[in-house]
A and B are shown apart, each in its own frame.
Chain A
Amino acid sequence: MKPVRHLHSRTIVLAHENIDTDRIIPARFLTTTTREGLGRHAFQDWRYRSDGSPDPGFVLNRPEAAGAAILVAGRNFGCGSSREHAPWALLDAGIRAVISSEIADIFRSNALKNGLLAITVAEAEHRFLLRHPGLELRIDVAAGEITLPDGGRFGFALDAFARHCLVEGIDQLGFLLRQEQAIQRHEEMHG
């Protein structure tokens, strides 16, 4: 995995609470056998009207969303399914970070393994970010800090191991493969 140390980008805001994985990538696009190409279906049923044309009212379709890589979302983002297609779709659509006050367990775990920064901030900061779409943020992964355009800073929560893996570009499968001796011992003891 490529290290993820810093991110500097504008935010897009999707204030809805409980944005589920079916919303992020509907099940009908899961009949794929690769990780690529899911970006065009990210938020499909919000992004496109029933005739297939983009809905100009949806934030991701607005001109100001172009190039913005940080998604600020309402509480409990990514709830529902375990499909890793959700973070794949977001990454493929150019999103590099998701910030919320609460992120569903499996989504977060999936996101971080793919280098998508899924981070949580305190409620007050969350409310502030929701109210100010388009903010230029600097995210410093190692320091665990977000810097606002005016220089104001606040911290975010990220598991120590996930942070280490992101900053050093460590791949978790490689880490697990190095546990071979301990795994063998366990198998000998437990059959």
Chain B
Amino acid sequence: MAGRTLLDKIWDAHAVAPETAATPAVLYVDLHLVHEVTSPQAFAELRARGLAVRRPARTLATMDHSTPTLPAGADGTPPFVTPEAAEQVRTLRANCREFGIELLDLDSAQRGIVHVIGPELGATRPGMTIVCGDSHTSTHGAFGALAFGIGTSEVGHVLATQCLLQRKPRAMAIEVRGRLRPGVDAKDLVLHIIGRIGVDGGTGCVIEYRGEAIRALSMEQRMTVCNMSIEAGARAGMIAPDEATYAWLRGRARAPQGEAWTRTLAHWKTLYSDRDARFDRVVEIDAAAVRPTLSYGTHPGMVVDIDSGVPQAGNALQQRALDYMGLRAGSRLAGTPVDVVFVGSCTNGRLSDLRAAAAVLRGRQVAKGVRMLVVPGSAAVKRDAEREGLDAVFRAAGAEWREPGCSMCIAMNGDRVAPGQLAVSTSNRNFEGRQGPGARTVLASPASAAAAAVAGRIADPRDYVVAEAVA
């Protein structure tokens, strides 16, 4: 018998009923994360049918998308952008109370972007199936979990049955050989990968990231890579657990403790793709060839490294993207004037990301006319960053330091880029209007974003970080 992939192993362990030609598999869900935007209609469905939540203990809710990042006013009311946004948050609160689900509410010390808090709490663990009504659930795959986004109907399915109807995705391997060069970040790597395979390169697949360069990444960097799997069209991304994974999880609030830890660890060590496992597709990437990489167009596959010129438009649609961005083929991105810089999101809103941005900003100023927003991914990230004095670095440089949430990644809460403005953003999507109507988005690493803030133009982060190291 041929060996099994990591995907096979997790899939088999969760198949309540196997897939047939006529029916999809019934797949058991270990952890269901819920947020305010994609859940109200699912709870309404349960209520309409008189159904209960099958396993409240496997369900965890938080609020992140439409929540303000400015502190509450004197009367204790957070400054919601619209009455609807406030209503959405109230609805989640009421639903969690009615259905007996744990909610990390706005005043919780553990709240934050759903994909930041799962790992932080140790709720995200190897070998699990994890779903959420959010496509960036792929983030949790960094721990060797099968984690993917679902729609609101499916949120209802999981609430009611703890299961989903799923066809098994194909297994794709991305082998990243060699090591990343100094000054090159996990974000650069994943943008490079999406540029290589395209925004539909992973459609129908789960991507397992493998190879020396992946092993060398920290857990936070692995989350950045897995986070953007959906941007290549993949259902999920995953990385087999190893010592780095165990070290990250040990002692976390919801991770197993004591004897249970030892037992669980033994199981985690079986979670890898067997040597003779077969992948449906294998792509090889040379890590040493990756440079600081940014997007120049209106989807995350339109990327270019900082040293090269913007590619020629191959068709009318690509030309439209260049026109929207106000960029010319052939010219380099570096030097393009910047209006807004955003550091945050489930892609790059963790402590190491804030450290990378602060390393560039320390002792420097955000250029005149540039607005920089730094939004920690969670309340814990905020606390840790403040303990290290990163908030002081950002503030001294002239950046805004905010409350945790999705913020300018999705521009639902009032934090948005004005029409026509160009933002360098550490988030994951540069679709037209993603950061506000008419907003232009350049996706980049935290170091590249901070470099752009200082220069007032898109700049090579290595000019700042290397100088720092020498000094």
- Chain A residues within CB distance 8 Å of chain B: 16-18, 20, 22-23, 26-28, 30-35, 45, 50, 74-76, 79-84, 102, 104-106, 109-110, 113-114, 159-161, 164, 172-173, 175-177, 179-180, 182-183, 185-187, 190
Contact = CB atoms under 8 A, between A and B. Distances in A.
B84 A31 contact: yes
Given A34-B41, A82-B151, A160 B22 contact: yes
A23 B65 contact: no
B317 interface: yes
B28 A190 contact: yes
A125 B432 CA distance: 29
B3 interface: no
B126 interface: no
B392 interface: no
A28 B22 contact: no
Most interface-central of A33, A83, A172, A183 (chain B CB within 10 A): A33
A84 B135 CA distance: 11
Given A28-B411, A45-B433, A75-B200, A35 B163 contact: no
B434 A22 contact: yes
B151 A173 contact: no
Given A33-B41, A34-B41, A79-B233, A182 B200 contact: no
Contacts of B22: 160-161, 164
A32 B86 CA distance: 10
Interface string B13-34: 1001100011110101000000
Contacts of B49: 173
Contacts of A81: 134-135, 149
B26 A177 contact: no
Contacts of A109: 150-151, 154
B235 interface: yes
Contacts of B233: 76, 79, 104-105
A66 B151 CA distance: 29
Among A30, A32, A76, A110, residue most surrounded by chain B Cβ atoms (within 10 Å): A30
B40 interface: yes
Contacts of B167: 159
Interface string B426-457: 00010111100110000000000000000000
Contacts of B91: 33
- Interface class of chain B by DSSP: loop
Given A161-B22, A183-B161, 17 more contacts: A26-B437, A27-B410, A82-B150, A84-B152, A104-B233, A109-B151, A109-B154, A110-B153, A110-B154, A160-B21, A173-B157, A176-B26, A176-B160, A176-B165, A182-B16, A183-B28, A183-B162
Interface string B84-127: 11011001000000000000000000000000000000000000
B38 A20 contact: no
Contacts of B334: none
B37 interface: yes
B150 A18 contact: no
B412 interface: yes
A33 B45 contact: no
B419 interface: yes
B199 interface: yes
Contacts of B200: 18, 75-76, 79, 102, 104
Contacts of A45: 432-433, 437-438
B432 A22 contact: yes
A177 B54 CA distance: 11
Given A176-B161, A182-B16, A23 B431 contact: yes
A35 B48 CA distance: 14
Interface residues of B, number: 66
A22 B432 CA distance: 8
A114 to B, nearest CB: 7
Interface string B191-205: 000000001100110
Contact of B134 (A82, A105, A110): A82
B88 A31 contact: yes
A30 B37 contact: yes
12 contacts: A22-B431, A30-B37, A45-B437, A45-B438, A83-B152, A84-B151, A113-B151, A172-B165, A173-B156, A179-B17, A180-B161, A183-B26
B411 A27 contact: yes
B321 to A, nearest CB: 10
B4 to A, nearest CB: 18
B106 to A, nearest CB: 16
B82 interface: yes
Nearest to B21: A160
A83 B410 CA distance: 12
Contact of A84 (B24, B51, B153, B235): B153
Contacts of B347: none
Report the 3 A-B pairs with minimum CB-CB distance, sorted nearest first.
A110-B151, A82-B149, A33-B40
B30 to A, nearest CB: 9
B133 interface: yes
A105 B23 contact: no
B437 A50 contact: yes
Contacts of B437: 26, 28, 45, 50
B299 interface: yes
B293 interface: no
Nearest to A28: B412
Contacts of B317: 16-17, 74
Contact of B419 (A26, A50, A172): A50
Interface in B356-402: none
Contacts of A114: 153
B224 interface: no
A31 B203 contact: no
B38 A83 contact: yes
Nearest to A185: B16
B221 interface: no
A79 to B, nearest CB: 6
Interface string B325-364: 0000000000000000000000000000000000000000
